[in-house]
Structure 1
Amino acid sequence: MAELVRIYPDNPDFRLLRKITKDMRDGALVIYPTDTVYGLGCDINNKSALEKVAQLRGVKLEKANFSFICEDLSNLSDYVSQIDSRTFKILKRNLPGPYTFILPGNNNLPTVFKKKKTVGIRVPDNSIATGLVHALGNPIISTSIRDEDEVIEYTTDPSLILEKWEKQVDYVIDGGYGGNIASTIIDLTGDEPILVREGLGSVDL
């Protein structure tokens, strides 16, 4: 059964974040707030946890388009091949923020993602999300929590999220009500930025 953990975004309790990330290293799945919708995440280096997330989303792990949640742009060189100054300026200007930027991947990607040529990078403007990454010491693989409701695409109430996911994840972090608009996805792998999905972030880069 999932544990509901209340963490205040204005002043996250780092002891709680360390407790959660200790379990994440051992394969725990966590639902946590971002600057857009609530996300389901796990340690990028735990293959069994990655497989569980893929199974919950009904996709094959090798083909899954999960985001890499990073603390800041310093993680980029770990997973992204060399990018030009124009691309870096776009990233620096808009992150942290409600964007997922698709970038060319490099050979340092975790083994299960070696065949992927691109990677989606997120640096949320949310201290709980970035605090988790900081406590873990490496990025989190993440996917948005969707709702089957035809009207409400994303559940915003942590207690309702717990009710739905308590048997499938290990932690639900209650960081207050979440948003119901996902991140804007921009592909930066070509000569010009390409809008993949319009979300919360402005498309005027």
Structure 2
Amino acid sequence: MGKIIKINYQKPERKIIREAVRVLRRGGLVIFPTDTVYGLGASICFPKTLRKIYRMKKRSGKKPLVFLIGFKKDIRKFTNKLSNEVKKLVRNFWPGPLTLVFPSKKYKTIALRMPDHRITLGLIRGAGPLAVTSANLSGKKENVTLKAVENQLLKEADLCIDGGKVPRGTVSTVLDVTNHPFQVIREGCIKKKELRKTVKSKD
């Protein structure tokens, strides 16, 4: 089983964040809390590790992983398709539980999110963007505590961070902004009417 470390959600211990960052930088897999549910992630720099995530979760290769970024400005590392409507969404909902799907030359489309969670942001800002999915077997319920994560995932992860129960306990909303009108792929924490209101606002 992967090493399990408890961390203080309110004041994450720097030494634990540093240890997790080292694991990620050398291509390891980490299970950690986010603002929505527990995640299973790795650095985007290690394709072999990303393939391992699919195998561990028994996840369809047609389902892309979400890239978590540490700063709003990092969005431009992956796409330059930022309409005024998209800028409003980023301004209003990031950091937070909104995943945006953009057109991308390298990946065709790419799903990006900036989480609102100290531990997660500490990992990303230390190791760089992370490719992440929920820490559960495909088809099973997302987990809001590390204790609930399936043993077979815990065994194959290199490090498991126990930050207690996650704040929201609901998946992020996924919005495809590749074309107009924008399309909600999955409704989660943020409801459709909130997104519509923001896009139509004149600010």
Q: 1:139 aligns with which of 122, 129, 133?
A: 129
TM-score (norm 1): 0.85
State whether residues 30 and 42 of structure 1, in contact with CA within 8 Å, keep that contact through their aligned partners in structure 2.
Answer: yes
Question: What residue in structure 2 maps to residue 16 of structure 1?
Answer: 16
5+ residue gaps, structure 2 = 196-203
Provide the C-alpha distance between the structure 2 equivalents of 1:147 and 1:92, rounded to a whole number of angstroms. 33
Aligned residues: 193
Question: What residue in structure 2 maps to residue 154 of structure 1?
Answer: 142
Provide the C-alpha distance between the structure 2 equivalents of 1:162 and 1:3, rounded to a whole number of angstroms. 15
5+ residue gaps, structure 1 = 107-113
TM-score (norm 2): 0.86
Which one-letter code corresponds to 2:162 in the other structure?
A: D
Deviations 1:33-54 (A, max 9, x none): 1111111000110122112112
State whether residues 4 and 160 of structure 2, in contact with CA within 8 Å, keep that contact through their aligned partners in structure 1.
Answer: yes
Which one-letter code corresponds to 1:168 in the other structure?
A: E
State whether residues 43 and 131 of structure 2, in contact with CA within 8 Å, keep that contact through their aligned partners in structure 1.
Answer: yes
Q: How does 1:106-185 map to 2 (within 5 A)?
A: 106=105, 114=106, 116-136=107-127, 138-146=128-136, 153-161=141-149, 163-178=151-166, 179-185=168-174
Which one-letter code corresponds to 1:170 in the other structure?
A: D
The DSSP-based 3-state class of the residue aligned with 2:149 is: helix
Taking only the aligned residue pairs, the percentage that are identical comes to 28
Which one-letter code corresponds to 1:154 in the other structure?
A: E
> Per the alignment, do residues 162 and 194 of structure 1 end up closer, same or farther by CA in structure 2, a change over 3 Å counting?
closer
Deviating more after overlay: 191-200 vs 139-148: 139-148
**Match status 1:33 vs 2:21:** no
The DSSP-based 3-state class of the residue aligned with 2:131 is: strand
Deviation at 1:81, TM superposition (A): 2.8
Which one-letter code corresponds to 2:144 in the other structure?
A: T
Root mean square deviation of aligned Cα: 2.0
Deviation at 1:96, TM superposition (A): 0.8
Deviation at 1:88, TM superposition (A): 1.2
Find runs of 4+ consecutive structure 1 residues off by over 4 angstroms: 147-150
